[in-house]
Amino acid sequence: MTDRLVVGVSGSSAPQYGIALLEALRKLGAVETHLIVSAGARRTIELEARRDPDEVCALADVVHDARDLAAAVASGSFPTLGMAVVPCSMKTLAAIAHGYTDDLLSRAADVTLKERRRLVLVTRETPLGLIHLRNMTAVTEAGATVLPPVPGFYTRPRTIDDLIAHTVGKVLDQFGIAHDLFRRWTGPETEHA
């Protein structure tokens, strides 16, 4: 059986993270990707990434309609490595934190938690309010990993794409998927004159 990873892209700002994750997974060829794109994400892909949402969907192996609660990823009997929601809006975070599964993205996340699989949420909001923090605590207590896109400057990024690659690499690390998206810290470099 092929390993599968569910990727959710919600309507938060910064769909570039989800796109970069899909591009990296396609290039690596390590897992079969099952994509769910919310209606809000389709709009932010157009507005912020200036890409056609259907072109982005073509990066995945399988695309599921966000309204289809009968899709394979809505069932725990469909084996996966887990799920990454990249980016994860505060609305989607709230739905996951409270088990409000009115669409496939939140249902697939709920299934991931109940099956004790890895759920990684790349939450995208600032500043954070108390409700956001409580929802992050709730999903963490339920077994999810909250992984906001916080840049690591030890990688010496030169471009925005470098910053995005760092976050995408951190997501892949959570699933044990090998990559070379950023330079790993091995200690301070010694510079010779």
State the residue for tokens 């570039």: 16
Phi, psi of 86 (to 5 degrees): -140, 105
DSSP string, 31-73: SEEEEEE-HHHHHHIIIII---HHHHHTTSSEEE-TT-TTSGG
92 is in an annotated binding site: yes
Tell me if 17 is assigned to a ligand binding site: no
* 124 is annotated as contributing to ligand binding: yes
For residue 14, what are its two tokens?
A: 């910064």
Is 154 assigned a ligand-binding role in the annotation? yes
- Reported in sequence order, the residue ranges of 68-144 that DSSP labels E, i.e. its strands, are 82-88, 118-123
The structure tokens listed for 145 are 């990993």
Known binding residue 91? Answer is: yes
Residue ranges at the known binding site: 11-13, 38, 89-92, 124, 154, 170
Residue ranges at the known binding site for dimethylallyl phosphate: 154, 170
Residue ranges at the known binding site for FMN: 11-13, 38, 89-92, 124
